[in-house]
Amino acid sequence: MDLDKKTKILPLIEQFPHVYNELLKLSPKIKRLKNPIVRRTIGKKATIKDVSKLIDVDLSKILQVIEESMGKTSEEIEELKTQRREQLKELVIDMHKGAELEGLKQRFKEILVDVSPSEIGEMEQSLIDEGVLKADQITELCDIHVELFKDTLEEKDCPETVSGHPIHTYMEENKIARDLIQKIRSAADENKLELLKELAKLEIHYTRIENQLFPILENLDISGPPQVMWAVHDEIRAGFKASKLENIEELIEKVDEMIYKEEHILFPMALEKFKESDWARVKRGEEEIGYVWVRPGDKWKPVTPGDVHAPEIKLESSNLLDLDTGKLTLEQINLMLKHLPIDISFVDVNDEVKYYSATDERIFPRSPAVIGRKVQKCHPPKSMHIVEDIVAKFKSGEKSVAEFWIQIGDKFVNIRYFAVRDDQDKYIGTLEVSQDVTHIKTLEGERRLVQWGD
């Protein structure tokens, strides 16, 4: 096929699919060519010259990339990816052995000059899967990893999208977080802690990422990077709770670095890997967790909302579910669970979350993205071994109840886990029940008559 600046890009990509992957390495903006609306409208006429303008890359460079990728078979492309992944692994392993950072960065530039954020994530995942490193080891050296890859990542465009898209909302929150970091650094000591309290609201931002982005990445067999980032989130959370003046600079530096990792690794990787229906699921669950400082715009609309919303099940009042001690409609059961003054989650025999009660004021945030997720992945890495121990003892029959109580701000929270077994004592799953017992702890004496509050 002859190529020039007037060659239409979509037919080219359809004939040579790996051309798209090579162009994506030049800029994440190329993902717009996969948008169904774009493909049906302006994409039909888009030429290689138009692509050059879209991603702001020299036309000759784009033509060179296309020509080279067209000349490779799919097997050759996969082999090159495998080689790149192995080279990345060698670099990180050498770094963990204590190799000098500047020398590693030079090797990186020479060998892997066009590495993508997704390849970094896949490399870290393969290190964990193969037992070369444990997730906590990668967590400890995460900052060094970013330093190693930073020069190349700086050359990549930060993800851009339209108002209302989840990534756009994350980016807007990050802008305000950066501004607060600058204010903290320049503020007098007596004002730093107050500004830090405002920055601590970033907890909502992290919770959305953990509940919305991480489950989808895990479904794509990318669990290493989420574990690494969640562990750092918890370190930041602990720093916010401590709120000591002498540790502020270390804390806000960690927040600043997390913003960098999100915008140069996590977000580009999600934009590359997620389908439109994945983003629609993310969007759907965001409202249940909430936002910090900003509200999403309304320009972005998922193209395939039908892929997300399963047909709603409606039961007429006459269609009752026959329970052990009564008959209720599905609607009645759902409303009862939503009105209980406790949070409930149910995990099945395969350790997958199958249900959580959508009460108005949950103690621990949940979103629809958690459904189908392994329970081990729903907790921070530092507490994963506790969850695994409880489930194992429930399954073996050794234990049937586990209980904890913790202080969360001004709330005293009781958390209980119950093994659910059928009439033959077969393990069916685990029920998690969380309750704010702050008021209950204060009760004394008796109250035998109703006393209405204001």
Number of domains in the chain: 4
39-48, 98-107, 140-149, 315-324: least confidently modelled range = 140-149
Residue 322 lies in a domain: no
Residue 318 lies in a domain: no
Residue 323 lies in a domain: no
Please check whether residues 223 and 116 belong to one and the same domain. no
- 8 A C-beta contact, residue 394 and residue 427: yes
**What angle do helix axes 101-111 and 74-96 make, rounded to 10 degrees?**
170
Residue 4 lies in a domain: no
Please check whether residues 80 and 62 belong to one and the same domain. no
Residue 242 lies in a domain: yes
pLDDT given for residue 28 in this prediction: 73
- 8 A C-beta contact, residue 84 and residue 112: yes
E-assigned strands of 255-319? Answer: none
pTM check: above 0.85:
no
Please check whether residues 367 and 293 belong to one and the same domain. no
Please check whether residues 264 and 392 belong to one and the same domain. no
Render 129-183 in DSSP notation, one character per residue.
HTTSS-HHHHHHTHHHHHHHHHHHHHTSPPP---TTSHHHHHHHHHHHHHHHHHH
CATH code: domain of residue 231: 1.20.120.520
CATH code: domain of residue 381: 3.30.450.20
Please check whether residues 30 and 94 belong to one and the same domain. no
Measured distance between the N- and C-terminal CA atoms of the chain, rounded to whole angstroms: 79
State which of 253, 287, 305 marks the end of a domain. 305
pLDDT given for residue 325 in this prediction: 84
Between residues 234 and 64, which one has the greater pLDDT?
Answer: 234
Please check whether residues 287 and 211 belong to one and the same domain. yes
Residue 324 lies in a domain: no
Question: Exposed, middle or buried, 1 (CB in 10 Å: 0-12/13-18/19+)?
Answer: exposed
The string of pLDDT tens digits covering residues 144-168 is 666 666 666 665 555 556 888 999 9
In whole angstroms, what is the distance from residue 278 CA to residue 273 CA? 9
Please check whether residues 148 and 217 belong to one and the same domain. no
State which of 28, 46, 70 marks the end of a domain. 70
Length of the chain: 454
Please check whether residues 110 and 209 belong to one and the same domain. no
The string of pLDDT tens digits covering residues 56-85 is 888 878 888 888 777 666 676 677 677 777
CA torsion sign, 256 to 87 to 275 to 372?
Answer: negative
Please check whether residues 21 and 60 belong to one and the same domain. yes
118-122, 291-295, 407-411: least confidently modelled range = 118-122
Residue 329 lies in a domain: no
Please check whether residues 431 and 366 belong to one and the same domain. yes
pLDDT given for residue 350 in this prediction: 95
Please check whether residues 78 and 65 belong to one and the same domain. no
State which of 70, 89, 105 marks the end of a domain. 70
The string of pLDDT tens digits covering residues 199-226 is 999 999 999 999 999 999 988 888 888 8
Residue 361 lies in a domain: yes
Q: Select from 145, 158, 98 the least CA-distant residue to 119.
A: 145
23-27, 207-211, 421-425: least confidently modelled range = 23-27
- 8 A C-beta contact, residue 267 and residue 170: yes
Please check whether residues 289 and 359 belong to one and the same domain. no
Domain range spanning residue 400? 340-442
Average pLDDT (245-269) is: 90
